[in-house]
């Protein structure tokens, strides 16, 4: 009988140890005292180019989801995040690919031109959107030294016209915001337009909204027998390279912080000749349809 009781006691103690170990492996407390298996991260895809990545992080900070180091500024990267209470994980993706990658992440921060091109309405479909920060005004850029050429001045006058402002306001429902303070009638009185008759101005542009806006500019210039030839690009690199090489006269797709960074990294010499509009960058839901996962 004693041997039987001893055997039963050994089995009981062994089973108790097994259950205890199993319970520990399923509920390991983390350093904050919560269950590790219940600690999940939220994934947000952001642009991988320097200025738009910083712009995305600044938006997330403005929305209250992260805190950046005080000196991070418009060159911030995920390494500059000082406080990340929502345990957000970031995926750095080429800006043009973000709409197609949206379904793979909880959220994505997308530039308005790519959002519009993908059928998203930045005002209605975004879950958070930045204000019209002047640092991110979309510009017309040319090679340094060419900004005072008559045909460039003619291009600027046509793009800063009231017709262009009206077109933007009527067609983009707040997703594109014009910033021209003193709109023209489309023409510059200091230019000898007769001398420009038959000239062709070549310009690189993103398809949406830039090339669409330039279609209005093309009609204005045609009134003076000047041809505007628009070449569309879907990336942020080639439009600057072709202008720097002199293959095209100008481009219209970027903001000054991006241009400055591009010049510094690539040894190009491009300058802004006019600021036309702002495209607010926005936070969009992918796997998540609301901001609840970030609360």
One domain for residues 257 and 152: yes
Q: Looking at residue 7, what is its pLDDT? A: 45
Per-residue pLDDT of the chain (295 residues; tens, 9 = 90+): 444 444 444 444 444 444 333 333 333 333 333 333 444 689 999 999 988 999 999 999 999 999 999 999 888 999 999 999 999 999 999 999 999 999 999 999 999 989 998 999 998 999 999 875 567 999 999 999 999 999 999 999 999 999 999 999 999 988 899 999 999 999 999 999 999 999 999 999 999 999 999 999 999 999 999 999 999 999 999 999 999 999 999 999 999 999 999 999 999 999 999 999 999 999 999 999 999 999 8
Q: Looking at residue 128, what is its pLDDT? A: 96
Nearest to 47 by CA among 289, 251, 258: 258
One domain for residues 288 and 270: no
User: Pairing mode, if any, of strands 270-278 and 177-178?
Assistant: antiparallel
**Is residue 277 within 8 Å of residue 177, measured between CB atoms?**
yes
Question: Mean pLDDT of all residues in the chain?
Answer: 88
Phi, psi angle pair for 67, to nearest 5°: -130, 130
**Does 119 map to a domain?**
yes
Helices (H) and strands (E) in the chain, counts: 10, 13
One domain for residues 106 and 222: no
Q: Looking at residue 173, what is its pLDDT? A: 86
pLDDT in tens, 223-238: 999 999 999 999 999 9
One domain for residues 84 and 205: no
One domain for residues 62 and 127: yes
Task: Say which CATH number the domain at 148 has.
Answer: 3.40.190.10
Nearest to 260 by CA among 231, 239, 240: 240
Give me the domain span that covers residue 146: 135-278
Other Cβ atoms less than 10 A from the Cβ of 86: the count is 16
One domain for residues 236 and 256: yes
Tally the domains of the chain.
Answer: 2
**Dihedral angle of Cα 172, 173, 175, 181, to the nearest 10 degrees:** 80
One domain for residues 148 and 225: yes
One domain for residues 126 and 141: no
């Amino acid at each position: 009988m004693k041997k039987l009781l001893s055997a039963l006691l050994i089995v009981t103690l062994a089973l108790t140890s097994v259950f205890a170990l199993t319970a520990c492996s399923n509920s390991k407390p983390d350093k904050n005292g919560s269950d590790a298996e219940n600690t999940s991260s939220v994934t947000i895809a952001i642009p991988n180019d320097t200025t738009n990545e910083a712009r995305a992080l600044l938006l997330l900070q403005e929305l209250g989801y992260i805190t950046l180091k005080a000196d991070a500024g418009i060159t911030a990267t995920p390494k500059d995040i000082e406080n990340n209470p929502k345990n957000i994980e970031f995926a750095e993706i080429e800006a043009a690919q973000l709409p197609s990658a949206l379904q793979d992440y909880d959220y994505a921060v997308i530039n308005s031109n790519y959002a519009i091109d993908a059928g998203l309405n930045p005002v209605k479909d975004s879950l958070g959107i930045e204000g019209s920060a002047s640092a991110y005004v979309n510009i017309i850029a040319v090679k340094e030294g060419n900004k005072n050429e008559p045909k460039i001045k003619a291009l600027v006058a046509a793009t800063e016209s009231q017709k262009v402002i009206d077109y933007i306001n009527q067609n983009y429902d707040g997703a594109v915001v014009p910033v021209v303070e003193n709109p023209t009638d489309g023409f510059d009185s200091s230019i000898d337009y007769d001398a420009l008759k038959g000239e062709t101005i070549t310009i690189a542009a993103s398809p949406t909204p830039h090339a669409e806006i330039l279609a209005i500019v093309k009609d204005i210039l045609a009134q003076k027998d000047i041809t505007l030839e628009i070449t569309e690009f879907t990336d942020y690199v080639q439009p600057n390279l072709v202008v720097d090489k002199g293959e095209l006269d100008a481009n219209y797709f970027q903001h000054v912080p991006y241009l400055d960074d591009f010049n510094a990294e690539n040894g190009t010499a491009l300058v802004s000749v006019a600021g036309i509009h702002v495209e607010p960058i926005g936070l969009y839901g992918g796997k998540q349809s609301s901001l609840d996962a970030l609360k």
